A = this chain, B = another copy of it.
């Protein structure tokens, strides 16, 4: 690690740095801890570079007014550590705030790689571009058409729900059949073996390992070589997407295929994974795919009105909810998860549509699975992860303290799980970098899973008498006749069934030693599997670990109070909730999901209390699993609320300055050059008629604000060659409507692929009809919390900062806000200003989500 990496923490709001300082800072890139292998890319700046095309001289080299950026030339040399610069600059005009102090006091050597945001994650445009074309389209619309689009929306919601459920049905049936075959064979082999000598165990062990490795290998190869974005669960990516961050490859068709195949592989391969996370991802892809009326390269030219980030988000939300609904039989839980993890501005009519989609999903899933299970017409069965209906359970007030202790334990164990996984992820990023290594790791996990299982069965003596009430399938293993091995029974079935058995089996079914050993082994296996290169859900492993130790607690309570009739399954349920809550830190949605999938409402209250406490305890130490991985990947996620005590920061402090602007009628050459030069996605459109006030103490301006135009729009315009000097410009303009932009969505060509001749470069383009003529703006004095709320509530991507004559002075983007992050650690609040790095390789964007 480069020593100089610790030298340039962003202690000074960027706008206060002069361009020299910024360049030097750019040229000594921050090496992000151990997680990322960095390339030096000195030439592409991560800031809005000094520019105003066509007026470059006046803005850069011309006179500076007011706040003199030259005179504050603070070289960020390597010996400036933890200095009080931030205050020195701030104290003049504003009252000192503890925020500043905290940022300074954060010891620099603690700066791990999670304190960096990547510049490579692009944002989504959840704000509608309102330009003349849109008005034109609206003018041609009628209420009949509005109705038709609404009907289409409901129809698409129906389709999404049905398709997600069909995929869930398919997966569950395939996995069931394969598992049945696999574990049937294994059971037979092991049972045959118990009658003869121990040596014959080698053959079934070998077969077990083989049967684990084979499907996992197939799944992993497809994921690693075809679509790395399909690895992990997908929950973290969904969260990023709904927050407004684009995750590359995340919604592609090949990701869908890889996810389904990989999921079947990991499930039948006996890994410690679940299928709910992948179902969420599958739901998201189906939602995006169907609503866009496209399948890979094929365009069906339907639902073209839905081709925008904002519309797509609604359908992705619905797909995610449908995925959860199918996975857990929990339609309300699905809607709530979207709400708890994703949404910011929530809307009643969208809620209804998402709810409808969830319902369709559950309904379709149940109808088909009913036929498969030979109970056609019975819709009461629910969800992939049917935890079984828990009836007639009640609890007493003195049990609440026990539940609270369990919640605390679950929170602790969850925090340990997350920390271990973070360490593992760091190790993976550093050492397991080649494709082959990634596949091999997964294969190794599969082999170890089988071996550990075998060792558990072999060394733990837990033979139980066959009784009336036994699990569906028993395995005799090494036990005498008339007995069976509970450990083998637990291992020789899918994880969901194990959870169900732990919740429902009669008291006395499990020995404490069995549960203890199983929980410990499964905990480490699950932690290892999480984040490896295969689709894997974390919900079922969490539930299974928790149900295991929860039942252990139940057995303990039974022994302590022999007189009272206690059902250990009840403690298993609380344990499951505590463990899963400790890992993922959700509350409301998880409560409802657990209620819906156990079909038991009586336990709602203790489950909720358990989840809330587990979350509190876990958050004391670290963030939830998905949040931690989002941080590790340096995603510029916007939190729910602005950091506390940040009101003293204003737009002036956080904005990118200077900015690139375009004139309302701009030369084609200038536009092409700009797009080549920078990677920014939005540009302020200005008029030149400036009214500079030499006495003002404000930053230099870049022209009178007129509107905002996106890179994608500029590229579409260049492609259509809407140049004012063309002879047929009227016809070209007429042809160009909002549909042209929708057709190009979402994969706009790169600027490099466009051909612009030398003659065309001298032409001009009138941007007025295409730009967003009234984007949301803010003043230089607007405080950070206000800007934050604006971004969060309206899903903005760019916010133009104007002075009080409405002249453009800066630009705020998501990263400028996301870099101020609150850390709550062991009860203390801290606000950090993160570093924004463009030094992340593009391929790493898709990797490593849990």
Which A residues are closer than 8 A to B by beta carbons?
94-98, 102, 128, 130, 134-136, 138-143, 146-147, 331-332, 335-336, 339-340, 343-349, 351-352, 355-356, 359, 362-363, 366-367, 370, 376-380, 382, 389, 391-392, 394-398, 400, 587-588, 591-592, 595-596, 599-602, 604-605, 608-609, 612, 640-641, 644-645, 647-648, 650, 691, 704-706, 773-774, 776-779, 781-783, 785-786, 789-790, 793-794, 802, 804-806, 827-830
Q: Are B135 and A648 in contact (CB under 8 A)?
A: yes
The main secondary structure of chain A at its interface with chain B is mixed
A702 CB to closest chain B CB (Å) equals: 15
A565 CB to closest chain B CB (Å) equals: 15
Residue of B nearest to A149 (CB): B644
Cross-chain pairs A/B with CB under 8 angstroms, 29 sampled: A94-B135, A95-B139, A97-B139, A98-B143, A130-B785, A138-B648, A147-B828, A332-B332, A332-B336, A336-B336, A339-B346, A340-B348, A340-B351, A345-B345, A345-B793, A349-B641, A355-B587, A355-B612, A359-B609, A363-B609, A377-B397, A377-B398, A378-B397, A379-B397, A380-B602, A391-B392, A706-B804, A774-B778, A774-B783
CA distance A71 to B591 in the complex (A): 65
Known: A97-B139, A804-B806. A781 touches B789 (CB 8 A): no
Q: Are A647 and B135 in contact (CB under 8 A)?
A: yes
Q: Are A648 and B139 in contact (CB under 8 A)?
A: yes
What residues on B are CB-neighbors of A352 within 8 Å? Answer: 587-588, 612
A332 CB to closest chain B CB (Å) equals: 6
Residue of B nearest to A596 (CB): B601
A348 CB to closest chain B CB (Å) equals: 5
What residues on B are CB-neighbors of A641 within 8 Å? Answer: 347, 349
What residues on B are CB-neighbors of A774 within 8 Å? Answer: 650, 778-779, 781-783, 786
Q: Which of B335, B345, B829 contacts A147 (CB 8 A)?
A: B829
A346 CB to closest chain B CB (Å) equals: 5
CA distance A612 to B355 in the complex (A): 9
Residue of B nearest to A345 (CB): B793
CA distance A411 to B129 in the complex (A): 39
Q: Are A591 and B394 in contact (CB under 8 A)?
A: no
CA distance A366 to B97 in the complex (A): 46
Q: Which 5 A-B pairs have the closest CB atoms?
A: A95-B139, A793-B793, A774-B782, A377-B397, A806-B806
Q: Are B130 and A647 in contact (CB under 8 A)?
A: yes
Q: Are B362 and A605 in contact (CB under 8 A)?
A: yes
What residues on B are CB-neighbors of A95 within 8 Å? Answer: 135-136, 138-140
A797 CB to closest chain B CB (Å) equals: 15
Q: Which of B146, B588, B779 contacts A351 (CB 8 A)?
A: B588
What residues on B are CB-neighbors of A647 within 8 Å? Answer: 130, 134-135, 138
CA distance A645 to B588 in the complex (A): 37
Residue of B nearest to A331 (CB): B608
Known: A98-B141, A143-B830. A391 touches B394 (CB 8 A): no
Q: Are B396 and A377 in contact (CB under 8 A)?
A: yes
What residues on B are CB-neighbors of A612 within 8 Å? Answer: 352, 355-356, 359
What residues on B are CB-neighbors of A136 within 8 Å? Answer: 95
Q: Are B608 and A604 in contact (CB under 8 A)?
A: no
- Find the residue from A138, A370, A640, A802 having the highest chain B CB count within 10 A: A138
Q: Are B602 and A601 in contact (CB under 8 A)?
A: no
CA distance A400 to B136 in the complex (A): 45
Residue of B nearest to A367 (CB): B397
Residue of B nearest to A96 (CB): B139
